[in-house]
Chain A
Amino acid sequence: MTNTKVLLDPTSENAPAERSLSKRPETLIALTVGLLDISKGRGDIFLNRLEEKLTDTGIKVLRFKKPTFTKPAPVDLRHEIASKCDAVIEALAD
């Protein structure tokens, strides 16, 4: 005798649609890169150095900082970043 029980699925049953990354440029030289500081300790020191190196390479840099690393950046900030930058680097999560 078989005794099979059907269980209901406790999960979201969501399979996200696979997307691909945005198109990358050949080079960042003369473009603007946004540095997004997540507001975690030591991240600013790390980003200062990245800024120095990007600037030396001939890449324009804009700095942004989100209010807290524990939450996604506010939508206005994400909009501002996207409207001013050609690429974005977010750091530093540890």
Chain B
Amino acid sequence: MFERSWTDGLPVVPPTAERVRKMLGGTSRSADEIVVSVPPNLIECNVEKIAINAVMAGCKPEFLPVVISALETICTEEFNMHGVLATTMSVGPVFVVNGPIARDIGMNSGINVLGHGNRANSTIGRAVQLVINNVGGGGPGGVDRSTLGHMGKQGFCFSENELSSPWPSLAENRGYNSSQNVITAFTGEGPRLVMDQKSRTPESLIRTLAEHLISTVSSSVVVGMDAMLVLSPEHSARFHEAGWSKDRFLEEITGMMMIDTDNIIAGSGGIEEGLPAELKGMSLPKFRPGGLLLAQAGGPAGLFSAIIGGWLNGPSGSEPTSKEILL
């Protein structure tokens, strides 16, 4: 199967008829229902093809609805999976699952949440990437032109630790309620750690977070690219305990990330990369309104959070896209 370019480089589970039949038992949808048109070749793809690739990725049948919905979020004009695949930047789809299904299928939102070791987290994103490769025809070195790539392109999916937070979840911020099963796709890099073990007040910790976020992708990139901040339980608690709402957090951090363009004009500080000179004398936000997504997850101990840098946003790039998961 590797020689036929059917895999991502790791061994896959052979998709026998019996295994695929069992996989199809995980969804109420019929095997021949066309659910998405898969880029780059825009191939109409039915539930059975997705099930075959889900078997290969190592999914359990109960993961299949999440895999299908994940594909429904990214195979859209707004998410622009073709662009995400073809870019030379190091990005791929990152999925966040909210709602009871995340618990029901045993997804990890705790220790090592952005890493390995959980079957659902590890195989859902993988199944999606196998569909893009095998059905859509988009693999590394072909249409995928990423200069460096990142390990999360093997499959990047996690759930939010929504039960232990007083703040609304990512899905709730995007217009869903907590009883709905929702998947959100974001175009992201690999995660980067933010350390702050000393701040005891929200006012101090938020400055550390803002400072790190400003350097996302490049300090001279403003407005045009989004980011996702994964706030760990201990960091989150600093804000919860002080009575900060999520809205207040986002408002205050946005205010701390206003960039004086004089410092990032091409040539400033001896660096040729930068904004054109016409943009001198302005104050621009690091992220467009709503361009900073926030998820709460991670193990109980550790005063660290993570930043997942984004890619071109808006109609010229990729929009974060959410969808209710159809069981």
Contacts and interface: CB of A to CB of B under 8 A. Distances in A.
Judged by CB atoms under 8 Å, the answer to whether A and B touch is yes
B316 A68 contact: yes
Interface in A1-44: 5-12, 14, 39
Interface string B12-52: 00111100100000000000000000100101010011001
Q: Main SS of the interface on chain A?
A: loop
Residue among A12, A39, A67 with the highest chain B CB neighbour number at 10 A: A12
A8 B315 contact: no
A8 B45 CA distance: 15
A71 interface: yes
B130 interface: yes
A70 B319 CA distance: 12
Interface residues of B, number: 32
Given A67-B316, A70-B317, A8 B43 contact: no
A9 B56 CA distance: 11
Interface residues of A, number: 14
B135 interface: yes
A7 B80 contact: no
A8 B316 contact: no
Nearest to B45: A12
Given A12-B135, A68-B317, A70-B312, A7 B15 contact: yes
A86 B175 CA distance: 48
Contacts of A12: 38, 41, 43, 45, 49, 134-137
A33 B6 CA distance: 42
A22 to B, nearest CB: 21
A68 B319 CA distance: 14
Interface stretch (B82-90, B106-114, B289-297): B82-90
Contact of B17 (A6, A39, A67): A6
Nearest to B82: A71
Interface in A39-56: 39
B81 to A, nearest CB: 10
A7 B16 contact: yes
Nearest to A67: B316
Given A10-B15, A12-B137, A71-B83, 16 more contacts: A5-B16, A7-B16, A10-B130, A10-B134, A11-B6, A11-B135, A12-B135, A12-B136, A14-B43, A67-B316, A68-B83, A70-B83, A70-B312, A70-B318, A71-B82, A71-B316
14 contacts: A6-B17, A8-B48, A9-B52, A10-B6, A11-B6, A11-B134, A12-B45, A67-B316, A70-B80, A70-B82, A70-B312, A70-B318, A71-B82, A71-B316
